[in-house]
Amino acid sequence: MTHEMPLWTPSEARKAEAPLSKFMAWCAKPYRRTFSDTDALHAWSIEERGDFWTAVWDFCGVKGERGATSLIHGDDMLAARFFPEARLNFAENLLTRSGTDDALIFRGEDKVAYRWSWDELAATVSRLQQAYLALGIKPGDRIAAMMPNLPETIACMLAAASIGAIWSSCSPDFGRQGVLDRFGQIEPKLFIACDGYWYNGKRQDVADKVRDVAGELKVPVVIVPYAGDAAALAASLGDGRTFAELMAPHAPAPIVYTPLPFSHPLYILFSSGTTGVPKCIVHSAGGTLLQHLKEIVLHCGVTPGDRLFYFTTCGWMMWNWLASGLAAGATLCLFDGSPFAPGGKVLFDYAEAEKFAVFGTSAKFIDAVRKADIEPKKTHDLSSLRLITSTGSPLSPEGFSFVYEGIKADVHLASISGGTDIVSCFVLGNPLKPVWRGEIQGPGLGLAVDVWNDDGQPVRGEKGELVCTKAFPSMPIMFWNDPDQKKYKAAYFERFDNIWCHGDFAEWTPHGGLIIHGRSDATLNPGGVRIGTAEIYNQVEQMPQVLEALCIGQDWDDDVRVVLFVRLADGVVLDDALVSAIKTRIRTGCTPRHVPAKVLAVTDIPRTKSGKIVELAVREVVHGRPVKNREALANPEALELFAGLAELQA
């Protein structure tokens, strides 16, 4: 996976300018520690977690009362509490600047473009805060949004956080049931939606879906204008109003920030729904803020005024991460729609025009640009670009090389990996270290990341489970509707006692970096987007022609493609028309990303003795790997049906 020489090495001047270098020097006085390198810093950040996270708080200038205690019950992953005496407000820490400089810049493909200053953002948040309070929204109430990645979405979230309401969002390409599977569980007090959106140059209508969801949620609805008729849609709802109507009674005023505990809930994010309806993962305001500041300021080197871009939707945790860039004083560059509309250079045009310092994207996007023979290095002025980050799926070695050969030679490329579960990264970039082909540079500061074998022993030079052996601030505070923590414990702590097991196959490299080899569970990850099999089954198994289905991710062309196996009703043939009908059902009921690349018919599907289908076993067979615990299957012979399918190689 590695070459003899690194792809990139930071210059001494660049290292000296990095906030991480300044942080290391800053720590010397209060903590009487000097660090020879970032490995030494990381070791200290694990050994003295309380001191480290206190240092992050102070160095990054968190607004709030920190309190005297930094960590209690630190040896117990589930009982550990960071800054139990602290009081802060998340929104106050993001609205860090004022004036007429850009806070938010937006492009919706080539259809819409506008920008907000810091003063405009604050004025909008103030008016929204007053509107929320007028609706009776209180700390702990949920606000749910089905929205594009608009400036209005950021403002709605900040207004929620300012009063201690809990924000939860998804993107408007989710199907009706996908939205209800998420928001129906958390019983929001307000539903915010757009009137349509643009994708691949086409206007996408959501009016019927909004009406259906609103009818089920039975709460006030706010319609944000973007690509439809907001006034007409709002008028067609029982308790609907437009964004402008919501704010009309309220003039901008100083924002009142409610001080809240460090562990006060901020966000509800959703698991991919592999084994049922998505799990509702609740993240704290303090943990999210500290972890994001650490990553954005120290690992990414973002400073006030930098232009920070991440290609993301509001259904992915990278949107939450991007929003926190405001806390570093960065200008957020937002984009919504297809990254290839009107053409493959649209994001690089955006980067050049707005002088991005950070360009965040997915491994799939980098690979698609490479395969399209697009070479921004030759066509665009990317002189301002300092950092490219890639996540969603492992970046291939070819992708690493292409960034330097085709995009920019002198750039810090950081492949990063973490997840919705921690609303951040376990492993990511290091601005003071070289970049090696195919490798993530190292673990996050303050995170006791390791790779363990099945026996719970640390391993080097071989694949194992990615684990974290000590508590950290951005662990979920709970799952919604999980009072005894049964779902929470099962998700992360069932494999190893008191050890977070993340569900990634990983491997340490000789350089102290890591390689992620993909998910070790049944989550699908095509094009770097985590999706769950249960959401696909919920659609396709409602079709009378399909008795049962099983879905896996197949490694294919340096990515993962979704393969759907169906057991059909008697007399039904899987012809082109049925394949098309299945794909259409999945596209409309879930999202276009859920649509399988291949749909294949099988006569039986393997299951456990308790009747649960075994996706992992099928995935192993398809990849030619041995299957463990065949004796646990009620019909192990069914596995052989998948081994001989020639269509899997097409």
* Banded pLDDT at 633 (limits 50, 70, 90): low
Per-residue model confidence (pLDDT) at position 69 = 98
How high is the pLDDT of residue 34? 93
Please check whether residue 168 lies inside any domain of the structure: yes
Average pLDDT over residues 386-413: 93
Q: Is 110 within a domain?
A: no
For residue 305, what are the contacts with CB-CB under 8 A and spacing of at least 6? Answer: 101, 329, 330, 331
Same domain, 548 and 644: yes
User: Does the structure show a pLDDT above 90 at 78?
Assistant: yes
68 plus 179 within the same structural domain: no
Q: The domain that contains 605 carries what CATH number? A: 3.30.300.30
> Which has the higher per-residue pLDDT, 649 or 378?
378
Residue 609: the pLDDT is 43
Q: Which residues pair with 556 in a beta bridge?
A: 559
Instruction: Decide if pLDDT at 608 tops 70.
Output: no
Q: How many CB atoms lie within 10 A of CB 544?
A: 7
Number of Cβ atoms within 10 Å of the Cβ of 456: 14
DSSP string, 22-51: HHHHHHHHHH----SSHHHHHHHHHHTHHH
Mean of pLDDT values over 573-589: 94
Question: Is the pLDDT reported for residue 389 higher than 70?
Answer: yes
Position 371 pLDDT exceeds 90: no
d(CA 111, CA 41): 47
Mean pLDDT of all residues in 105-113: 97
**What is the spatial distance between Cα 126 and Cα 139, in angstroms, rounded to a whole number?**
16
Residue 103, domain member (yes or no):
no
| 420, 442: one domain | yes
Task: Note the pLDDT of residue 489.
Answer: 96
Residues 457 and 597 in one domain: no
SS (H, E, C) 307-337: EEEECCCCCCHHHHHHHHHHHHCCEEEEEEC
d(CA 255, CA 4): 55
Better pLDDT: 628 or 467: 467
Report the SS3 class of residue 477. Answer: coil
In a domain, 277, yes or no: no
> Rounded to whole angstroms, how far apart are CA atoms 442 and 431?
11
Whether residues 244 and 342 fall in one domain: no
Residues 134 and 224 in one domain: yes
pLDDT tens-digit series, residues 157-178: 999 999 999 999 999 988 888 8
Three-state secondary structure call for residue 65:
strand
The domain that holds 74 is classified in CATH as: 3.40.50.12780
Do the domain assignments include residue 1?
no
**pLDDT over 60 at 559, yes or no:** yes
Q: Distance between CA atoms of 433 and 301, rounded to whole angstroms?
A: 13
Nearest to 634 by CA among 602, 603, 610: 610
Q: What is the pLDDT of residue 611?
A: 56
The answer on 142 and 84 residing in a single domain is no
Between 107 and 454, residue with greater pLDDT? 107
64 exposure class (CB count in 10 Å sphere: 0-12, 13-18, 19+): buried
Would you call the peptide bond into 342 cis, given omega within 30 degrees of 0 as the criterion? yes
Beta bridge partners of 608: 633
> Residue 629: its pLDDT value, please?
55
Residue 63 within a domain:
yes
pLDDT at res. 2: 44
What are the tens digits of pLDDT across the range 22-54?
999 999 999 999 999 999 999 999 999 999 999
Number of domains in the chain: 3
Per-residue pLDDT of 258-290, as tens digits, reads: 999 999 999 999 986 544 578 999 999 999 999
Residue 67 domain flag: yes
Average pLDDT, the chain: 93
Q: How far is CA 300 from the centre of its chain?
A: 17
With contact defined as beta carbons under 8 Å apart, do 150 and 561 qualify? no
105 assigned to some structural domain: no
CB 387 within 8 A of CB 414: yes
Number of Cβ within 10 Å of residue 636's Cβ equals 15
Q: How confident is the model at residue 610 (pLDDT cuts 50, 70, 90)?
A: very low
Whether 470 and 567 map to the same domain: the answer is no
pTM: 0.86
Check which CATH number belongs to the domain holding 212 and give it: 3.40.50.980
User: Which pair of tokens denotes residue 326?
Assistant: 């405001």
475 & 588 share domain: no
Among 388, 362, 363, 367, CA closest to 308: 388
Q: Which two tokens stand for residue 565?
A: 């196996």
Residues 80 and 228 in one domain: no
> What residues make up the domain containing 617?
531-649
Q: What is the pLDDT of residue 276?
A: 55
Predicted local distance difference test score (pLDDT) of residue 75 = 97
398 & 421 share domain: yes
Please state, for a pLDDT cut of 90, what percent of the chain lies above it: 77
Q: Which of 67-81, 492-506, 547-561, 604-618 has the highest mean pLDDT?
A: 67-81
Task: Verify that 511 and 415 share a domain, yes or no.
Answer: yes
**How confident is residue 358, by pLDDT bands cut at 50, 70 and 90?**
very high
Query: Binning pLDDT at 50, 70 and 90, where does residue 615 land?
Result: confident
Mean pLDDT value across residues 148-157:
98
pLDDT grade, residue 1 (50/70/90)?
very low
